[in-house]
Amino acid sequence: MNIESLRMFIKIVDNGSITKTAEQTYISQSALSQQIKTMEQLFNTQLIERSNRGVTLTCNGKVVYEYARHLTSTYDSMIREIQENEESNRVLHILSTPIIASYALPCTLYYVKKNFPTYSLEISSVASARIEQQINCDQGDIGFISGPPSDPSLTGQKVFSDDVFLVAGSEMNIADTIHKEDLYHHPLLTLTSDQRTEQHLEKRLFEEGIDPDRLMIMFKQDSIESIKLSTMNGYGMAFLPYMCIKKELYHKQLKIIGVEEMALHNDYYIIKKKASEYRDRTLLKLTSYIEKILADTIC
């Protein structure tokens, strides 16, 4: 006797028909009939009566039916409690580029924790290329990167786009709008060339007819925060994502400099191993939830 035999017995009784149950479960009528026969032999009593109108329970069949419902319900409760105990010790390891980790994810993770309270959330700031390597090596569950993944063994889903603006310190003496060619004549601050965000910016500028090699780059820095501080101090201008500069714009520490006939943006992706390698259904549900809400919950 196993739990699935009890489930089939309950289903047959609820349907009032072996034929109907066979159609629903894709198990042959003869196999279901044999299960009933085996149970009757085990309990040494008839459990159901068959007629043209289907099946009905005998007196002892009613006893077995009620206990079967109780046993399967108790079994399911046991499995759920085990799963909850397992999930309560589960940590979701998130790898993210510093920009997303600092400016996009904090508010999103609040809602994730609210809807998946049994998960602990850990986030690490890592460069995009390294994120792909670590996800492939199972050193992280999901990653957030700038642009689509370059590794074909990973799946990528665009979760939001963010405008990129040319900004200057509020005290810098420069017109509110400049022409694209004027970019060659003003000092600029950029991220280091090994960062994918900077690589995408250079590509977009090139597509806009701007030669990155001709730009007056004062120096390259490895973080958005250091670039913002240098820009606010008047050391040069910088192309920065809007989510990184909202506070500074509000407090008038930075100002947007329009560039005629130019509109830039960054696309950000969530990456993970392909679904065939993902065995944790709750984790799949959790990552799908993040994909759904991220764009609307950016801080």
Question: Taken in order 135, 140, 141, 147, is the CA torsion positive or negative?
Answer: negative
Beta bridge partners of 191: 221
Beta bridge partners of 266: 162
- Mean model confidence pLDDT for the chain: 87
| pTM of the predicted protein model | 0.64
What does the pLDDT look like over 62-71, one tens digit per residue? 999 999 999 9
Residue 16, number of CB atoms within 10 A of its CB? 14
Closest C-alpha among 190, 163, 114, 142 to residue 262: 163
The pLDDT score that the predictor gives to residue 179 is 93
Q: What are the CA-CA distances from residue 279 to residues 116, 230, 252 (Å)? A: 18, 46, 49
Amino acid letter, residue 124: S
pLDDT band at 276 (very low <50, low <70, confident <90, very high): very low
Q: How would you class 236 by CB atoms within 10 Å of its CB: exposed for 0-12, middle for 13-18, buried for 19 or more? A: buried
Q: Which of 179-183, 241-245, 286-290 has the lowest mean pLDDT?
A: 286-290
For each of the domains in the chain, give its residue range(s) and CATH number, in order of start: 3-88 (1.10.10.10), 91-159+267-297 (3.40.190.10), 162-266 (3.40.190.10)
The pLDDT score that the predictor gives to residue 78 is 84
What does the pLDDT look like over 3-57, one tens digit per residue? 988 999 899 999 888 888 888 888 898 998 898 899 989 999 999 998 888 889 9
